[in-house]
Every structure is written in C-alpha cells, then in structure tokens.
Amino acid sequence: MFANENSINNLESLVKEVKRYIELQGQYLKLDVVEKLTILLSTLILILILTVLSMMALFYFSFMLVYALAPLTGSLISAYAIIGAVILLLGILIYQMRKKWIFKPIVNFLSKLFLEDSSENEK
C-alpha cells in the first residue's frame, strides 16, 4: 500500500511539473515573439526615418545641382530637366533592381529574425 501512495505522489508531482513546464514554455514563446516584434518595429522605424532624411537630402542636393548646372547649360530650365531626368533614371534603375536590392534583403532579414533558433544566437 505504501508503494502505491508513493507512486500516486510521484505521478501527481510529475503532472504538476509538466504543467509548470508548459506554462514556462508559453511565457518563453511570448517573450520571444515580443523580442522579435520589437526588433522588427525598430528596424522599420529606422528605415522610415532614414528614408525621409534621404529624400530631404536628395531634394536639397537636386536644387544645388540645378543651380550649379545652370551656368553650364545656359538656362535654369535645362538644368532642371537634366536633374529631373537623372532622378527619373535613378527611379527606373531602383524599380528594375527592386528584387535584388529591396525584396531579397527584406526576406533574408525576416527569415533570420523569425525562423532562426534564438538558442543558436546565444552560443
């Protein structure tokens, strides 16, 4: 009879430990998701800020180049046309290379962030 009670106590403690393990794994999963979402959102905010600043810089540099080219071309209109054409060609180039320059780095970043095991990073 004593062995039976001991087995029941062991089984009860095993069930309690399994429940506790499942709770801890759930908490770990939540923390892991929060960490990865934080990294993702901070990266997106950084990219947004850098994009806005780059667009502002491109705007001012394009005006600088227009006024620098105006004496060489003879008119302000032709200088604006040249800079507009260069920016348009740059946009077409970026559009043509979007998979290599934009999509693949984003896919690689997201796959490393969400699919890579975080225990490997700690080693």
Q: Is the pLDDT of residue 104 over 90?
A: yes
Output phi, psi for 74, to 5 deg. Answer: 95, -15
DSSP 8-state class, residue 117: -
Structural domain tally of the chain?
Answer: 1
Q: Is residue 123 part of a domain?
A: no
- Residue whose tokens read 């810089």: 57
Instruction: List the domain range (segments joined by +) for residue 74.
Output: 2-118
Average confidence score pLDDT of the chain:
90
> What is the average pLDDT across 34-38?
93
Q: Report the C-alpha gap between 120 and 62 in whole angstroms.
A: 46
The letter for the amino acid at 66 is: V
Is the pLDDT assigned to residue 1 strictly greater than 50?
no
Asked whether the beta carbons of 62 and 87 are under 8 A apart, the reply is: yes
Please indicate, yes or no, if residue 89 is contained in any of the structural domains: yes
Residue 76 lies in a domain: yes
Express each pLDDT in 47-80 by its tens digit. Answer: 999 999 999 999 999 999 999 999 999 999 999 9
